């Protein structure tokens, strides 16, 4: 039976390994451990991207919205796959197209433009219209006051999170040899996770060698000379 998985159990795993004071490593605060776990999530974010749908409602005549405020977390959005305004599909505009437009707040909303974390809808924005985004984003950070929360990364990534947190804690106490040792363990686990993260469907689509080989080709007319002047001079 799998153990219950949340922030509290991760902290206990880290403290059990540290054994800083007694059997639970109580010398390190939960704040330090959670902060270290969040740093590990940031480092693993390119491996474990999260597919998500973000929804918000517009304000009248407001074209630009900060994605950090919309999503409610300070994570990274890697890709915006699709944007709908009031149920209608819009298309992404490149910077030159956006800057070349003399008026960006009139007409129907058919395009959007992203600069940093600012999403701009091009067209006339009405109030209380629903905007829906399909995105690939980084995992959310673990909250400091919600120990029942669960990491968005898969369970098999927990060993990497724990090894990274242990390394950070040892570095905090200036035990650099132990810190480097556990960071080496983290790097090894991360390499294994990177290899495992390649989708199986993508593996199947990669070019492969031919499963069987054809027999040698033989001309039905026998051996054919390719050198038309075998003796180095022309003769009949």
- What tens digit of pLDDT does each residue of 127-163 get? 999 999 998 888 989 998 877 889 999 999 999 999 9
Looking up tokens 């219209």, which residue turns up?
Answer: 129
The answer on 100 and 57 residing in a single domain is yes
The answer on 102 and 35 residing in a single domain is no
- Helices 30-44/176-196 angle, 10° precision: 40
The answer on 125 and 93 residing in a single domain is yes
Q: How many domains would you assign to the chain?
A: 2
More confident residue, 65 or 230: 65
In this prediction the pTM is 0.71
The answer on 22 and 81 residing in a single domain is no
Asked if 83 and 70 touch (Cβ cutoff 8 Å), the reply is: no
pLDDT > 80? residue 70: no
Asked if 14 and 165 touch (Cβ cutoff 8 Å), the reply is: yes
Distance in angstroms (rounded) separating the CA atoms of residues 181 and 176: 8
> For strand 77-85 and strand 64-66, is the pairing parallel, antiparallel, or unpaired?
unpaired
Q: Is the dihedral of CA 199, 50, 42, 114 positive or negative?
A: positive
Q: Is residue 108 part of a domain?
A: yes
List Cα–Cα distances, 233 to 198, 228, 236, in angstroms: 61, 10, 10
Q: Is residue 125 part of a domain?
A: yes
Q: 142 exposed, middle or buried (CB, 10 Å; 0-12, 13-18, 19+)?
A: buried
The answer on 132 and 32 residing in a single domain is no
Q: Is the dihedral of CA 36, 39, 45, 51 positive or negative?
A: positive
The answer on 114 and 96 residing in a single domain is yes
The answer on 146 and 43 residing in a single domain is yes
Q: What is the DSSP letter of 26?
A: T
**Per residue in 19-40, pLDDT tens?**
755 555 567 889 999 999 999 9
pLDDT > 90? residue 226: no
The answer on 85 and 107 residing in a single domain is yes
CA 87 to chain centre: 27
Q: Nearest 5°: phi and psi at 15?
A: -65, -35
* Domain span including residue 61: 50-137
């Amino acid at each position: 039976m799998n153990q219950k998985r949340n922030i509290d159990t991760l902290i206990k795993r880290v403290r059990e390994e540290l054994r800083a004071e007694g059997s639970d490593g109580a010398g390190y605060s939960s704040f330090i451990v959670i902060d270290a776990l969040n740093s590990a999530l940031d480092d693993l974010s390119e491996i474990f991207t999260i597919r998500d749908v973000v929804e918000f409602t517009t304000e009248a005549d407001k074209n630009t919205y900060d994605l950090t405020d919309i999503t409610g977390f300070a994570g990274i959005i890697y890709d915006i796959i699709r944007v709908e305004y009031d149920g209608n599909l819009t298309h992404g505009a490149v910077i030159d197209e956006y800057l070349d437009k003399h008026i960006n707040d009139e007409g129907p909303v058919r395009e959007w433009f992203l600069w940093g974390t600012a999403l701009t809808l091009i067209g006339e924005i009405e109030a209380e219209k629903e905007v829906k985004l399909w995105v690939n984003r980084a995992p959310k950070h673990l909250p400091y006051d919600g120990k029942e929360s669960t990491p968005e990364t898969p369970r098999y990534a927990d060993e990497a999170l724990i090894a990274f947190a242990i390394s950070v804690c040892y570095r905090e106490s200036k035990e650099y040899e132990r810190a480097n040792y556990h960071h080496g363990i983290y790097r090894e686990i991360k390499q294994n996770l990177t290899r495992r993260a390649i989708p199986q469907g993508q593996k199947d689509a990669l070019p492969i060698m031919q499963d069987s080989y054809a027999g040698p080709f033989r001309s039905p007319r026998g051996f054919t000379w390719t050198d038309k002047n075998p003796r180095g001079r022309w003769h009949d």
